[in-house]
Structure 1
């Protein structure tokens, strides 16, 4: 039986959870209810910024969505520069947020989830959404069955008695750890709204990933860019606009209808470049507000570092690189850290306990690199050399462990010269976002280098009982550009 975690519903639903039948027999209170919740019974809300089915395990999942007043986002009206990133030309940051390109106005209402499988139907209570959370809802699901495909309906209405809007999706829970099953996942990073390469749909990479029909998708950070123009998100309202506009792209919405997502954060979708907990505000946007916004838009439960199992042959770790780090400009030494003591202890314990054939560490920033000499916020840089050296040595001691990273705006495979640790950089979401490395600067560490956009697909399977893992870099159209395969 599927159970819906009650703590969130009790907090958010309020009157709607238990009062409808009582109010129906109370004329005066019914009129009060209508005044509070039903200013216009014909008003509708929409899933214009889509939804995410996230953190899927054998028995749990999280559904995230936002209710919106307008059915479609604002049209794109600005021309773009003909150079890297494609910044908008003459964008007015002071214009009303409601009029900005790609903008979507959210609004109040109620949402519920219906879940169908071969064993029956489950219906959640109605959840009310509020302005304090940008009208977003997170609906946790518990008691799911492993290896089952669920059909999902999200139902929304602006008022208690108003018309409903319905969106549909599917997802499949993982099989138990003792079962050897094929797994296909995709991963990407670094997407700036104005770097879109398909004017109607947004980013070609998302459509290309969807055509592969992966089991899940991992986004490794910089989902939005607060500190790039169109607008510069120096306050809460403009920062929220960036999330709404990004999630409203049709290519992104369509992928999430059939592919669960797991997300990491990095600097640009938290506050600004190279951010750490002691960073100064970005305009009027503080570090704590940026942190609140990220959790407002990313459906996770508990700590931002977590691990997930996918059958007998694969376990993944998603690590947090911003919340626990020392200031970037602090002197290097044994006490300087990106992960923090608690996360390091958790990682060592869980990875050493794992009996998965292959282990994948997903990190928002590089561990191996190489990186540019002027960079100063990741384990491949001199400023975190002490922890970086330890981490590469430790990871290389774990059999069949590979690092997959975001942050860098080029595709690569690197092998650390001292430890042999392998790292796979997925590259940015579009070719317009690719930059930062000379394509002719192929160093001894590089097994593959391509300064273009696209994504990385990872397949785990067995041939005649022997497990293998295959890493395939792909361009924005989904065409393979490089492949590496390893057998256990």
Structure 2
């Protein structure tokens, strides 16, 4: 049955843009002449959507060995905490912009193996239609098992000149307890980097604690900020090239799988709704296109993953299904849409995991600023927010971890008791939007700075426990909460 399934998947290419399905041996013949045209994995690679039996390997084939150097100094904004490039020429050729990485046509294959079995993909073509990105779905993996990953790349008529390697561990099954550590963060604007050579200190700090996986809760890039301000498809793609060119990110992803959520800034612009106007020539549909080039998913943008007996995570979609902003409706406005809400309630009720974490691109509890109107902690979506908070509070062992907010916090909803952790932005320069002295009744912890949130699931004397730690950009602990099943 497994062999038939692999054959079927190979024919239909079940992963959008990925026409390669892993096999037990090399099936493709090398059709190329042995010349030595160099290509590179300058944007690294990502191991995505890891489960107990599957993984998707993503990469991009590049023409230059290193990203363009930073040629613009930066300075703090006059009224905001953010930093911006000085005298950035928005009309300069994109290929010459700071951090730029040109793509290259060619061919890539991926190899995933453990001590017992080796799977090798067929060669997949990297072409300009998908910005030279490729992705490889691997199935039939063993649970709770360490795997090695190797990537090989070559030009159209060349021998292999690009090689990259890494490793990851698959998720454990629901039958057995599994100790694990994960990290999460949000909101990273290229010019708010805090290490001019490596990018972001947070990624190096997370790498030091060796998490089992990482969840980025949205705003991976910022289309609507200068350096460049996106007004076409080429500039939007550049934002991803520059971000993924930072050494701190590339080295982190070599050994830490990632799940990604999207939010407004890496789809189009601030507080985007389905009826939002384009950024110049860059449309919402193109924003979805670029997202899918860089974040290949097997199916729907909302999904759930089990990591052992004691943890299940839910990753939800907050932009594609929401009620258009300018539409006049009689019923309550929705962020999730009916289909996603039904999926979520069904899967949450069916779960027997000890701890359940909803990862949301935007707040559910908050508190949030009164002027905001795009999340469940706001008045515009009050009815759906009330329903969601009550539903989650009625379940056992549920926590919310959110992105989007540029400060770290732990809050408890006064009406339902639902607990929410805001991970905070990747860098201190990205922090802001809240007054450090504005402690609301919901707050149990508040810090208007950057860093990350680590979550540890473990057992002590066979009692399941979960620990949340807010850390600064250097990895130093700022706050800790521990809960027992």
Q: Does 2:265 align with 1:268?
A: yes
Out of 217, 235, 242, the residue aligned to residue 245 of structure 1 is 242
TM-score, length-scaled by structure 2? 0.94
TM-score, length-scaled by structure 1? 0.93
Higher helix share: 1
Alignment correspondent of 1:115: 112
Whether the 8 Å contact between 1:177 and 1:309 is mirrored in structure 2 is yes
Number of corresponding residues: 471
CA separation of 1:434/1:19 partners in 2, compared to 1, >3 Å: closer, same or farther? closer
Q: Does 2:426 align with 1:425?
A: no
Alignment correspondent of 1:8: 13
Q: Does 2:336 align with 1:320?
A: no
Q: Does 2:42 align with 1:51?
A: no
> What CA distance in whole angstroms lies between the structure 2 residues aligned with 1:325 and 1:102?
34
Please tell me the root mean square deviation across aligned C-alpha atoms, in Å: 1.9
> What CA distance in whole angstroms lies between the structure 2 residues aligned with 1:343 and 1:396?
19
> What CA distance in whole angstroms lies between the structure 1 residues aligned with 2:382 and 2:121?
49
Out of 54, 59, 65, the residue aligned to residue 59 of structure 2 is 65
Whether the 8 Å contact between 1:332 and 1:383 is mirrored in structure 2 is no
Alignment correspondent of 2:434: 437
> What CA distance in whole angstroms lies between the structure 2 residues aligned with 1:337 and 1:378?
10
**Structure 1: where are the runs of 5+ without partners?**
24-32
Matching of residues 364-379 of structure 1 within 5 Å: 364-379=361-376
Alignment correspondent of 2:335: 338
Q: CA deviation at 1:230?
A: 0.1
Task: Note the alpha carbon deviations across 1:329-352, whole angstroms, 9 max, x for none.
Answer: 556864310000000000000000
Q: CA deviation at 1:299?
A: 2.5
> What CA distance in whole angstroms lies between the structure 1 residues aligned with 2:330 and 2:428?
38
Matching of residues 344-383 of structure 1 within 5 Å: 344-383=341-380
> What CA distance in whole angstroms lies between the structure 2 residues aligned with 1:329 and 1:13?
39
Alignment correspondent of 2:306: 309
Whether the 8 Å contact between 2:36 and 2:161 is mirrored in structure 1 is no
Q: CA deviation at 1:8?
A: 3.2
**Structure 2: where are the runs of 5+ without partners?**
21-25
In the TM superposition, structure 1's runs of 4+ consecutive aligned residues that sit over 3 Å from their partners are: 1-5, 7-14, 17-21, 328-335
> What CA distance in whole angstroms lies between the structure 1 residues aligned with 2:118 and 2:53?
16
Out of 169, 180, 186, the residue aligned to residue 183 of structure 2 is 186
> What CA distance in whole angstroms lies between the structure 2 residues aligned with 1:340 and 1:9?
25
> What CA distance in whole angstroms lies between the structure 2 residues aligned with 1:281 and 1:236?
11
Q: Does 2:212 align with 1:218?
A: no
Matching of residues 75-154 of structure 1 within 5 Å: 75-83=69-77, 84-154=81-151
Whether the 8 Å contact between 2:18 and 2:137 is mirrored in structure 1 is no
Alignment correspondent of 1:452: 449
Q: CA deviation at 1:175?
A: 1.4
Task: Note the alpha carbon deviations across 1:433-475, whole angstroms, 9 max, x for none.
Answer: 0010000001111000000000000000000000011010000
Task: Note the alpha carbon deviations across 1:128-178, whole angstroms, 9 max, x for none.
Answer: 111010000010001111111111110000124333311001011111111
Task: Note the alpha carbon deviations across 1:388-432, whole angstroms, 9 max, x for none.
Answer: 111111111111100000000000011111101010000000000
Out of 397, 407, 412, the residue aligned to residue 409 of structure 2 is 412
> What CA distance in whole angstroms lies between the structure 2 residues aligned with 1:163 and 1:392?
53
CA separation of 1:132/1:444 partners in 2, compared to 1, >3 Å: closer, same or farther? same
Task: Note the alpha carbon deviations across 1:256-286, whole angstroms, 9 max, x for none.
Answer: 0000000000000000111111111111101
> What CA distance in whole angstroms lies between the structure 1 residues aligned with 2:251 and 2:49?
18
In structure 1, the residue corresponding to 2:205 is in which secondary structure? helix
In structure 2, the residue corresponding to 1:81 is in which secondary structure? strand
> What CA distance in whole angstroms lies between the structure 1 residues aligned with 2:41 and 2:350?
41
Out of 272, 277, 281, the residue aligned to residue 278 of structure 2 is 281
Task: Note the alpha carbon deviations across 1:224-261, whole angstroms, 9 max, x for none.
Answer: 00001000011000000000000010000011000000
Q: CA deviation at 1:12?
A: 6.7
